[in-house]
Amino acid sequence: MAGRRGCAAGPYSPPARMVRAAAGAWPRTDDDLADWGTSMSDTPLQREYAQHLVEEARKGRMTRRQLLVRASVVGLSATAAGRILAACGGEETTSTASPTATVSPKVGGTLKVGMVSPIVALDPTTMYDTGSIAITQQVAEYLIWVNNDLTLRPVLAEKWEPDATAENWTFHLRQGVTFQHGKPFGADDVVATMDILLDPKTVSAALSSFQGILSKGGVEKVDDSTVVFHLDQAFADFPYLVASTNYDCLILPSDYKAGTWQKNPVGTGPFMLTEYKPKQSATLKKNPKYWQQGLPYLDGVQVVFNEETQAQALALQAGSIDMMLITPVHGSQALFSDPNVTVLTTPSTMHRELHMRVDRKPFTDKRVRQALAWTLDRPALVEAVLKGKGEVANDNVFFTLYPLAPQDLPQRDKDIAKAKQLLADAGYPDGIDMDLTVEQFEEIPQYATLLQAMAKEAGINVKTNLVTVSYYYGSGKNQPWLEVPMGITDWTFRGIPAQYYLPAFTSKGVWNSSHFKNAQFDKLAVDFETTLDEASRRTIAKQAAELLLDETPAIIPYTISVNRATRKNVNGVTADPAEYLDLTKAFLA
């Protein structure tokens, strides 16, 4: 399902008109091929890469959407991407018409949004919680925004390209943009922001993605509108690391003083934060000097903080808010049948990782881990736990939403006989006991309950220990989730698989809760991001996914689609796989 989604409409995707015009025109000759994906502004490397993409697509190894994603990563221009896309056949249109496309935008009005409260003082350089991210994103902007289909939309960066080694990435910045306090935006601001983020003293959440890839001082100003990122190692997916999916990378002015954001909120974004009452509300007003002409449509946004999904859902039904930032199925089921409410949904790579300590009995034997994995009826889980708002996953992090996801990996499904056999082979013919630590978070306790019942069929007795979220994650030296023999951890959306497997499954990973150490996997993990050739990357991804599937350090039975409930009069808003909030084009009809 995820593979079929088109990219959202916008200036960054090829106009549907153009795609249709070129539909069905396959490259027949070398001359044609030479023309694919070329454009006046593309570098020789990009042109070469474009041809390479076309070949991949012709061999049927890439879907159209995947191709588009890859094209946007190396910074191919929209024109080029469109032509490549056209080369792959025109049966499907690429831009999904949003349900509101027929309504002409209305200017004015204030949108009332309900969301969870920021848990710490607002600071874009260190934040990590859903509430903080959603608020600051209205005021400040990224270089690149990651679309729902994982294509990249240029925001403050207009274009970018790697050199032949993918170790140096040149970003061309948008000109004519000013910060809300009047300072014009330029290369200095990008360098200054990156210096703050890359300084270990800042303790930015962005650092976990940059570790070993980009270090402080690695960002160079070429001229006022050009910066070059000099990486520590080649990284084929680098643009994702400075895009919205690495959420702390909001660009701040070079005169910004670290830690002062809540007092003096500043950025280039569509809204200005005029009032902020922690745990209560936030008031945002339209930025009259916003660089996108005629946007935003809204006069302002009123944010109401509430921790409870159920309370937010009731407020939405009563009309005291117009939309919820996120609408987890758990606690908001009444909305799905409410005629006054629209629930937007988008597939995501958000998932739950059931990790088993591979260095602790009985999980030292991979057959025990596999046995548990084979007991799960995954479609039934998706149905019961997510009310169908999710997709079956296959115990590895190369999810189908990713362009290089292995397509022919056998899907694990319920097989009790096999599970019993594996247990018997591992020396547990009479069943086995396991202790599972479960955090009280959204649908996880319910998932654990179903898992218990399913595992029981194969003679696996899972004893659960239900704990609060704050106990589960702890802090400092006491982080139970990294120590328990078996636990279920919630992972949010990430733009590239590396953002999962580097922390969770490599030997040096900081969030390696299964204590999985595998030299072969470590090597594949590095190879995947240092290789530029798509075919080789696909092979590496498949090997890595197969290895995870076989070793089963963790069970990942499903990915969760992200829902966003709005009242019927809200337009121009989509659900976001990362639970982000883009209200630039929102309006009230």
Partner 1 sequence: MEQASPPVGLPAETVVSEQALRRRYVVRKLLRSPTFLVGLAILLFWIFMALFSTYVTRYGPFAIDPYNTLTGPSAQHWFGTDDSGRDVLSRTLAGARPVLEVAPLATLLALLAGTTIGLTAGYYRGIVDEVLMRAVDVLLAIPVVIAGIVIVSGLGASLAVIILVIAILFTPPVSRTVRSAVLAEREREYVQAARLRGESGLFIMAAEILPNCLPPIIVEGSVRLGYAVFTSATLSFLGFGLQPPSPDWGLTISQQSQNIQVAWWTVIFPAVALATLVVGANLVADGLRRTLSE
**343 closest CA partner among 321, 320, 326, 319:** 326
Q: How far apart are CA 67 and CA 14, in angstroms?
A: 13
Nearer Cβ to partner 1, position 38 or 375? 375
Least Å distance, CB 384 to partner 1, is 4
Least Å distance, CB 449 to partner 1, is 5
Least Å distance, CB 464 to partner 1, is 5
Gyration radius (Cα) of the chain, Å: 24
The conformation of residue 476, written as its DSSP 8-state character, comes to T
Among 150, 381, 405, 458, binds partner 1 (CB under 8 A): 381
User: Could you give the residue ranges of the DSSP H alpha helices within 389-432?
Assistant: 416-425
Nearer Cβ to partner 1, position 103 or 334? 334
Among 466, 526, 535, 547, binds partner 1 (CB under 8 A): 466
Least Å distance, CB 457 to partner 1, is 10
Among 449, 530, 539, 543, binds partner 1 (CB under 8 A): 449
Structure tokens at 326: 């996120």
Binding mask 406-445 for partner 1 (x = CB under 8 A): --------------------------------x-x----x
Q: Find the part of the chain contacting partner 1 (CB under 8 A) among 39-47, 226-234, 294-302, 333-341.
A: 333-341
Cα–Cα distances in angstroms (integers) from residue 391 to residues 307, 334, 347, 500, 553, in the given order: 27, 22, 8, 18, 21
Among 263, 279, 463, 568, binds partner 1 (CB under 8 A): 463
3-state secondary structure of 170: strand
Burial pattern 542-561, b for ≥16 Cβ within 10 A else e, equals: bbbbbbbbebbbbbbbbbbb
446 scored as a contact of partner 1 (CB under 8 A):
yes
Identify whether 14 is preceded by a cis peptide bond (ω within 30 of 0). Answer: no
Among 23, 121, 304, 384, binds partner 1 (CB under 8 A): 384
Among 453, 469, 510, 589, binds partner 1 (CB under 8 A): 453
Nearer Cβ to partner 1, position 264 or 333? 333
Question: How many of the chain's residues bind partner 1 (CB under 8 A)?
Answer: 31
Least Å distance, CB 452 to partner 1, is 6
Among 207, 324, 356, 448, binds partner 1 (CB under 8 A): 448
Among 377, 391, 551, 576, binds partner 1 (CB under 8 A): 377
Least Å distance, CB 558 to partner 1, is 12
Q: Find the part of the chain contacting partner 1 (CB under 8 A) among 25-33, 358-366, 381-389, 554-562.
A: 381-389
- Measured over the CA atoms of residue 57, residue 59, residue 63 and residue 64, the dihedral's sign is positive
331 scored as a contact of partner 1 (CB under 8 A):
yes
Nearer Cβ to partner 1, position 264 or 440? 440
Structure tokens at 453: 């019942």
The conformation of residue 202, written as its DSSP 8-state character, comes to G
461 scored as a contact of partner 1 (CB under 8 A):
no
Among 93, 320, 333, 478, binds partner 1 (CB under 8 A): 333
The conformation of residue 75, written as its DSSP 8-state character, comes to T
Q: Find the part of the chain contacting partner 1 (CB under 8 A) among 71-79, 199-207, 229-237, 379-387.
A: 379-387
Least Å distance, CB 335 to partner 1, is 9
Beta bridge partners of residue 300, listed in sequence order = 110, 285
**87 closest CA partner among 152, 29, 151, 3:** 29
Residue 184 near residue 168, CB atoms below 8 Å: no
Query: Which residues, 283 to 322, sit near partner 1 by CB under 8 A?
Result: 309-310, 313-314
User: Phi and psi at residue 18, in whole multiples of 5°?
Assistant: -65, -40
Q: How far apart are CA 178 and CA 326, in angstroms?
A: 31
Residue 227 near residue 187, CB atoms below 8 Å: yes
**324 closest CA partner among 7, 562, 2, 10:** 562
Query: Which residues, 337 to 356, sit near partner 1 by CB under 8 A?
Result: 337
Nearer Cβ to partner 1, position 266 or 376? 376
10 Å Cβ neighbour count for 199?
15
3-state secondary structure of 567: strand
Q: Find the part of the chain contacting partner 1 (CB under 8 A) among 13-21, 192-200, 325-333, 557-565.
A: 325-333
Q: How far apart are CA 509 and CA 140, in angstroms?
A: 30
Nearer Cβ to partner 1, position 223 or 383? 383
- Measured over the CA atoms of residue 251, residue 253, residue 255 and residue 257, the dihedral's sign is negative
Nearer Cβ to partner 1, position 139 or 381? 381
Q: How far apart are CA 51 and CA 37, in angstroms?
A: 7
Binding site for partner 1 (CB under 8 A): 309-310, 313-314, 330-331, 333-334, 337, 377, 380-381, 383-384, 438, 440, 445-446, 448-450, 452-454, 456, 463-468
